[in-house]
Structure 1
Amino acid sequence: MASTSEIIGQLNQARELAFTSKESFPQVLRHIFNFVNNPNIEIQLWCARFMKESFTVDESQLSIGDKIDLAIDAMDSLIILSNIKNLDIFTYAIDTAIVLYKLIFRYVADNDGCQDIWNKLNMLKKSLIDKYSNNFPYEESFNGEINQVKNLHSKLELLKFVILVIDYQSKSSSNIKNFSLLKVNPHHTLIKPQVIEAESYALLDLVLKVFNQDILVPPLVTATLNHLSIICKRKPQFLSKICSILENFESNNKLQSNYQSIESFKLSKKYVDRTLRILINHLLRNQLVPPQFQSSLNKKLSSLINRGDEIRKKNILIPNADDSKIKKRSFEGFANPVKKLKLDKPDYKNLYCLNEPSNELNGFDLSTLPQNILISMTLAALNKIHTKKLSLALDIIGSRYLDVINSMSPLLKQALAAEQQQQLQQQQQQQQGLPDVYDIDKLGGGENGESDDDDDDDNVGKDYNPQTVFSLPPPKPLSLQEKKDHINIIIKNFFKLSNREIVDIDNTNNTETDEVNGYKINKELSSIAIKSWKKNSWSILLTRLATRGMRNQDNETNELSDMIRNSIFEFFLDNIHTRIDLIIEWLNEEWYSEKVFQEEKYKESIKQQVLQEYEIKPNKNDYNYQLKLNSKLDELKVDTPNYTKWAGKVLDAMIPFLEPNDRKIFIRLLSDLPYLNNELVQRIKSLCFDPVRIKIGFLSLQFLIMYRPPVKQDCINILKELSESDQDDLKDESNKLLAKYT
């Protein structure tokens, strides 16, 4: 197999051929697309760089027709490159995507019906826009401030792409010659003006978020202001939104970042204000400002001019009295993140100290607090902390502990050697018949048979002999009947809880918000099923015990979990009107758990199958590993037989006892069931044959046709069947609905 250097050498030769021969360029570039699948990062970087160079050449080297054809062929490779976690590759991919988006959007606009091409373009667009809000290709940090100031290079590149999408997906003024949504056929089947223009409004909001941050990020703010000057000129519909943001933006209200000096912060404000002044002046001079904003923006411009004149008169880098008014952003990281303690005598408390060592809070003794308060404090902290922050804190503490242990290892070795020597001497004394220092009289009692409590306490454990220590035998496995008995006890206890009057306990501090005390709540911790005990908590635990805790692994486990399901089912039948919430919650959990478990099992086998195919022919023109995998995963259909079985039982048990005034309950059940198929829908037909409950049957079918598209055809088939009935009322109702929905 060729080495990386040999492959890159061959690629360089192909590059020279492409740039020296216009006729060979398309063929060479198509051949390069196959190398994107190579897992070697150097080869992928070479491909990303070459693709950028190729699509930015002029028509003397690559005609516009060839460039469009190549752009369509390059979509798959570019999607792969845009998801590789390498900054250089990602940057090249964005630059290439900017060119490709222009070419392909215009191509689709002129050629209606290119569904596959349009789908791939949307896939690429979504992939890049999603990355604008995070730190890709780097990992997201628990520290929101770091996320704002980090990875600015790729964010600036992505900003260019987002602005391009806004420009192409919204209408421009009629006097603007640049391409926009205005030049697309309003009846285009793929490019629907209302949909994609609404998306451009949402993207503009995403871009303008930078002005609402509590700190200044000068490169991103100034770049956004420069792009807005173009948007304002071409898109009058966005002017009100942009002018409102500019009117309310004030650099003096921003906080100093913990990652910039005070001098850097003052310079940031200076250059941001200057760029803002230039933009507002440009808008006013070209009469682009709406009337309602002219007065306020004129005042804003005057204020910025006066502020700039003041700054020019003095050196802002020299400390002055106003520096004390600058507020710093609260720090989200650790004030004491060192992994090695520099103390001569390490204190156990210092192992866990992540704030300033001089902080008086370190001296607070938590052991003086009641246990219930400590538990509440711990749960509240775990609910708010970011998972990555907790992981990093534990890593720091673990490193400190290992460092202390390693530094004390010589002393530990000496102590261990002394202990071993003492044990050896004791064994020698026992073998020689010498009196042991730990005499039985001292342990058992004195001359009068009285025990000496002090001696007992002092000598406990000194006669330890590992050969005489008793260990408990392993527990005996329970028989199936014993397991059933235990499950019955558990079920009875849960149903006892359902009958108790329990006041819902809700901690308002645990409500999910985007930010709490400057920290983003971790979704993994905040999405737990039970944060505090409520009246319906028993049902959540019982349903999850059946679906997740006792998932189907063998017939025995399946039988035990069915015991729980059957008990819930019978509990529901006792009162179907008041317990409909319970049955909906259970069936939703049943479907979701079964679907997730089955999907994971199928996905793993599909990945192995596709990987084996890729290893056989990794560089074939007609094979793309990632797309093949995604295609097979999209086609994956997961069956949920367990859910279908119990949902059918619920319908079979409920339908015979429905009264005419129960239609709301029944339709609610149908609307909240997570999945319906022909087998389940067929059960509704019996209601239509009942003269008393005929309205429930037809209302249910009508509801499913309107709001459950996957079973629409099944319902229509039932109506067609009913329309051929001998009963006139059935015929009339069926024909009415068929005429309306077919």
Structure 2
Amino acid sequence: MNPSAQTPVGQLEAARSLALGDGRYYPTIIPGVMPIIGANADASIEIRRWGADFLAETFASPTWPPDVKVPCALSVLATIKEYLEGVADSGVLRSAVQAAASIYPLVYRHIIADPADTQHWQLMLAIKSNILRRMDSAPPGVRICCVKFVQQIVLVQTPGMPPDPRRPEHTDISLALVPRDHPMIPYANLEAESSGLLDRLLGIIHGDHRLDRLMARDEIPLTMYSDALLVTATLNSLGMLIQRRPAVITKILSSVMNFNPLKLANSPMTSKNKVLMKSIERTTRALLVNVMKRNPEGPFTGRIQQYLEKIHRMRIDVLDESNRKRPAPTETTDNLDAAKRQRLDAPVPIMAPAVQAVPALPPGPVSFRQLFTLNPDGNTANFDVQAFQDPEQLLRILVPVLQSIDETRLGSSINAVRSRYLTLSTAMPRPPVQAPAAVDDEEEYEPDFEPEDAEQVMNKLDGAPPDNFIPERISDAPLAPYRLPEAPLLTVEEAQNHGKMTIQRAFQMLSSIGEPNLKTKITKGGFNRLAASSFDRDSWITILSRLATRASAGLGDIDQGIKSEFEVKRGSLGLGESIRNQLYQYIMSDWRKRIDVAISWLNEEWYNDNVIAQSTKPTSKPVANGNGAVSVTDKGNYQRCALRLLDGMLTYIEGTDKVLVRFISEIPGLDMSILSRMKKMAEDPERIDLAIMVLQYLYMFRPPVRELAVDVLVDMWRTNDRAKNNAKKLLLRWRPEALQEDREEAFKTEKESANGALEVKAA
């Protein structure tokens, strides 16, 4: 680079670093750098390379919103067109094509909203034509960028999935946004063009790579390398299309599964060709494995597995060199040395442990040293342990020695010492036993002097006092009773903290128990059954839900005033709310499998609310709680918890989740606030059938809420146009007068509007 260009490049790099740090500066920096890198600027090739890289990086950055990108994208179209038509540098071309791939969806969406802007659309069409002409003749790096551009065209010109009303952002740009009568971009032309470009992409992986023509010109290595890069880039681009465009999944997967990634096996098997084949085969396998992971139950799963097994066998036949080698000869493993046996993976013969010869003890008295010495000729027999003054030094020596001892030899040595001890015990002389004094008129007791076995002798020795034990006079006074000191009283905060820790441990244990198996679970029914008769998941759920619901109900008579215990009572309320929060988190972590837990919890809440409501009926007296006389009122925990659970589940419920029918039908209390959630859910077109199914089930099997269910259906029929047909079928059977009233009101409204129009015309 010449010195005159260093200063502009340095300034441009400073601006680029500022934008990389914060994407909000892009709309300000782009107008400032365009006079330097733009179409009319007399810039050097270095400046143009920097400009193309900057534009590709800018419009691919996710740090600033697409709505702000649109006016900037329109302002750089002329520059990108000039780069593609007037610059031959491959680096500039690569970055320009990448920038065009990022800009095309933005211009496409702008033209949908503003059909009169023909100037910018003509620039975009010129850029598109230039890039598509380069796909077959450009260098390998530029062709890979062209593949990315074609992928973007197919992505935005193919119908996508219908927008989800639960997601406020609509960032997916597809053919579904184009009106059928758009004057600038006809719907049929765009769909046909995307189909043709998709066929062109799939044709890249099925091309013959011109091997026959280039083998005679000795151009095989370079062509194979470039074509392998192009095939890999094409396979990588197909993954996005499979994920976001269901309309072309069948076409793409059928083409990929007809592709042979090992077709280069017919060429000379050089190391470079092997690397290329492995790369293409791994990319193909990764693409298909990701498809199976996203949809394990899809219709193509079986065919994909068969294709992967087929490719695996072909890869072993073509690339695995181990099958081509001569197998090792089979040799016998008898009488082999350790090294030979290890190489042949032969089992090591288990040798019988050698019997250790135990020398006899010397005659006469035997000391402890002689008793435990099994090898009197060894060096350790005369070793004096008292030479170690530092016990730590002795420990550092003994621990490694004990770790290195063979367990078999240690056991045999212990048995040898035990046999010596038993022999000495039986050979010891017994002291003479004196007969007790004779007692008149009583029989003399003569014990049987039978020889004691070794176990009795060892028990006596263990219980015997030490040799230097001198008994002292023991006082005959009785011992005073010993009492443990009383534990200090807990404060309210400490009690609440300990309660929360106990709850957390209970839920940790509950998560480790796992879900019950319905096939092996045996439930004892009837009214006399115990709610928590075992330590399974249901028992712990019952205990925790009752702790949450009944901890706040009080343990004594509610007519009695609460005095100093009010603080403890407030702590119990906090404990109940903590358990409710933990139960909610536990259920929502896997709500489809734990819907029975939610139903059990809400039943406990409903029962507790009714008990409190009955006990505080009009005969309620003022209750002193430390702050004045107030009356006990119903807290309504069931209503609050039921709505919280229902709102949490409605966020994730799909149209096929029949578990919602079970939840609504089994909770004990239903009112308009709960059933109105079905009306809200029916605003999603995919969940209208599920909402209608819930209301129909309630009408058929829960007669007390029939009127509420029909009221919700009438409201849904009047306010939701998409649910009118489904609601009308049920209202014709259950409440046809509602349909008739709406028709009369509509007729009356039309008549009044017509009369008003006639009066205006007559006047």
The TM-score with structure 2 as length reference comes to: 0.35
The TM-score with structure 1 as length reference comes to: 0.36
Q: Which of these two proteins has the greater Rg computed from alpha carbons? A: 2
More RCO (CA 8 Å, sep 6+): 1
